[in-house]
Amino acid sequence: MNRQLKRQLRKTLLKLRSQIDREIWMQKSRAIGDRLANWQPFQQAQNILAFTSFRLEPDLSPLWQRFPDKNWGFPRCLEKNLLWHHVAIADFENSMRSGAFGILEPRHDLKLIDLASIDLILIPAVACDRQGYRLGYGGGFYDRWLPHSIGLKVGIIFDEFYVDELPRDPWDMPLDAVITEKYDTNKD
């Protein structure tokens, strides 16, 4: 039953997100980047996992361009798993390729990032709720990977996709915080 609820909710929310005006999307994305840049856990983090924008997800590229000296890792899909590669921001364009699902991801020959040293994980989502649960795209990549990850887990979404409650399954795990263009919500 939850799968059906999630599938319908995902479809509805992705349709809403697809209708965001490009200029508004850029403004909201910049606001999220500014909020992150001023957020103490981000300022203290040196090793950060991030994502490239897909289907009008928040665009964090101005953030990592502002902080090229941090160690950035980006995911690459391999079968049903996420592999995290270190990407030098100064060489970002040469380091990335269109990969699984048309998502921009690191070249397979780039060094894997040391996941034991991760301070902060910036996680894409279709939506997040007030308890920190996220609704993803339904592929389960993050659901399989997150339980074994180290670092502060932060959902990155636009404010209109921050909802009171999402349907959840036993394998869903809450994030540590959610950041929108209007809020940063550390869970206690």
For the chain, the structural domain boundaries read 2-186
Query: Domain 2-186 classified CATH 3.40.800.10?
Result: no
Measured distance CA(72)–CA(183) in Å, rounded: 23
Q: What is the pLDDT of residue 186?
A: 62
Q: What is the pLDDT of residue 132?
A: 94
Listed in sequence order, the residues at least 6 apart from 66 whose beta carbon sits closer than 8 Å to its beta carbon are 33, 37
Q: Which residues of the chain have pLDDT under 50?
A: 188
Q: Residue 115 class from Cβ within 10 Å (0-12 exposed, 13-18 middle, 19+ buried)?
A: middle
Q: What is the pLDDT of residue 1?
A: 57
| Residue 141 known to bind ligand | yes
Q: What is the pLDDT of residue 188?
A: 42
| Residue 74 known to bind ligand | no
Measured distance CA(105)–CA(4) in Å, rounded: 29
| Residue 137 known to bind ligand | yes
Rg from Cα positions in the chain: 16
| Residue 136 known to bind ligand | yes
| Residue 65 known to bind ligand | no
| Residue 40 known to bind ligand | no
